[in-house]
Structures are given as structure tokens and as C-alpha cells.
A = this chain, B = another copy of it.
């Protein structure tokens, strides 16, 4: 009834435990006679033997798990990154251990601790801190223990210390988006900037403002509004600026990510405004599930799956700390028609 062990297999095959072990992970130096090897494998098949990864991890001193920490796996941004990371992990023969933080800095540290216990080969931190670095100290401490213990870490989007990081050119992408909007003729702008202290949101906001300014479009402070980095956050933020928008037809509402943008669109419609006739909307990320919405959402396309895969490779590489930077590409769609 219990899983047969390698000893069982060895006995069944009439060989020693050591030989049985070698029959599976046949190293180059320590090879085993083909005949015996087959005998062991047959015995294993007959018994339904399944190696115990925990025992292997202990004996080898390293596990076969790759940790991924996200805010919320139901968020399409993270699930896309997870998909890419999963493929990379599979290619390396690793399993991925998933942990969600729900944007709670405390939970984030717990989660790193959790993955440390698993002796995960590496940890990829997607989605970063939101308290503007206040919790970085504790997190860094936890990560340092982990790294000192032999673990590897990579982050995506949010550089942390000098850890390897898949940097996303948020500022550049946002600047390009702003430029594109200016090129379309937009002069009045509202920015849904997300939560203050959210690094990705901050960078994108900064890029947008810079981009607009470069084209002579100044965005007054009261038209830069905060909100959660979620659909509801976008909805709420857009609802708040409804009065402003009513007074200025042809304004572009730019959210720092797609789900916020979609929430904003809903709020604008609920407020009686026509998108894009009266208000334009743009986002960031180019979430796959949202590519068919009407009007098509103008956004900055990010290769999320590749980003996940790149993060995995970075975390697994034994090179010194590296930085990969991926740049987004502006995709103009119908949500931001030209304004003459």
C-alpha cells in the first residue's frame, strides 16, 4: 500500500541500493551495466516505484522547486507571467510552487519564508512592494537568509537591491504612449495613476507625465488621481473625475494598466459618457483576454509570458546578478481615435 522505496526495487531486482540508485541517475562516471540497469527499471515498473522528491532533495542538497510569488494569480497579468515561468520551469525539470500575497507586505515576507522552507531552487518575485520601500528591510532580510542558504532570487518589474531583475521599461513605454496620444491630438488628459508607492504604477505615471510634458501637455495635479491597481480601482478613480470629463469632451483617460482602464471605461459609461466619442481611454500591458473588447483598448503591449520565462532563467542562472530589460510597444486601437 505505501509507495515502494528504492530499497524495495533493489531487492526485487536483486541488486544493491546503490546500484538501483545509479540505474536511474546514471552519471557519466558511475555507469551501470545495461543488463542490470534494465533489470532495475523493470523491477521499478513492476512495483510501481515513484522516487521521493523530498528524499532526493535532502540527499542532493537541493530541491526541484521554483517559487513564484505574485499578488493575485487571478490577475491576468500575473497568470500570464506564471504561464511563461511554468514553461521555463518545465524545461528545467522543475516544479513551480505558487504563492500569493494579496499585496500584503507582511504576507509577502511570510511567503518568502515559506518558499525558503521548501528549499526552493530559486524564487521569482513578481509584483512588488506597495508601501514605498517601508517593508523592504524585512523582506530583504528574509531574502538574504534565503540567498545565504544557497537560494537564488530574481524579481520582475521591481529591482530590489542588486538582485537579478527583469526590468520593464515602464517609463519609456508610458512616455511612448503619451507621445502617441499627443500625436493623435489629445491635449486634455487625466491619469489614473494607481496607488502611490506602487513602483510600477509610479514609473508609468512618471513616464506619462514626462511624455505629455515633452509635447507641451501639462497635466495638473488634480487630474492625476489614485486608485487601486485593479478593475475596481480604475472604476472608482474614473468615477471621481466624472465631473471634470463632462466639462471637457475629448479628454483622454490614461490608466496605468489595462484592468484599471477597463474599470474606468465601465465607470465612464455608467456616468453617461460615450467612449471613445466623448472620452478616450488607454491602458498598459495589453492583457490577452482584453484584446477583443470594443472599442479596442489602446495600450502598451508587454510580452508577459516571455517576461515570466526570462525571470525563471535569470533566477536559475548561476551568473552574477543580471538585468534584462524588456520594452513595451504602443498599440493604438479604437479607444483613442484621432482628435482633430
Residues of A within 8 A of B (CB): 1-3, 48, 50-55, 57-58, 63, 65, 72-76, 78-80, 82-83, 86-87, 90, 95-100, 113-119, 145-146, 148-150, 231, 259, 262-263, 265-266, 269, 287-290, 292-294, 305
Contacts and interface: CB of A to CB of B under 8 A. Distances in A.
B100 A86 contact: yes
A50 B259 contact: no
Given A52-B119, A149-B3, A96 B95 contact: no
A232 to B, nearest CB: 11
A333 to B, nearest CB: 12
B292 A262 contact: yes
B119 A53 contact: yes
Q: In the complex, which of the residues A48, A53, A90, A116 has the most CB atoms of chain B within 10 Å of its own CB atom? A: A53
Number of copies: 2
> Which of A54, A72, A80: most chain B CB closer than 10 A?
A54
A58 B52 contact: yes
A73 B86 contact: yes
Contacts of A65: 97, 118
Contacts of A51: 117
A58 B52 CA distance: 9
Q: What are the nearest 6 A-B pairs in CB distance?
A: A3-B149, A79-B79, A74-B83, A54-B57, A53-B117, A266-B292
A43 B216 CA distance: 61
A282 B292 CA distance: 15
Contact of A54 (B58, B87, B269): B58
A118 B54 contact: yes
A117 B57 CA distance: 11
Contact of A58 (B55, B90, B288): B55
Contacts of A74: 76, 79-80, 82-83, 288, 305
Given A119-B54, A263-B292, A73 B73 contact: yes
Contacts of A118: 53-54, 65, 95
A53 B266 CA distance: 46
A4 to B, nearest CB: 9
A82 B87 CA distance: 17
A71 to B, nearest CB: 11
A292 B305 CA distance: 24
A265 B54 CA distance: 48
Given A98-B96, A117-B52, A259-B289, A76 B79 contact: yes
18 contacts: A1-B149, A2-B150, A3-B149, A50-B116, A50-B149, A52-B117, A52-B119, A53-B54, A53-B117, A53-B118, A54-B57, A54-B119, A73-B82, A74-B76, A76-B76, A76-B289, A86-B98, A293-B293
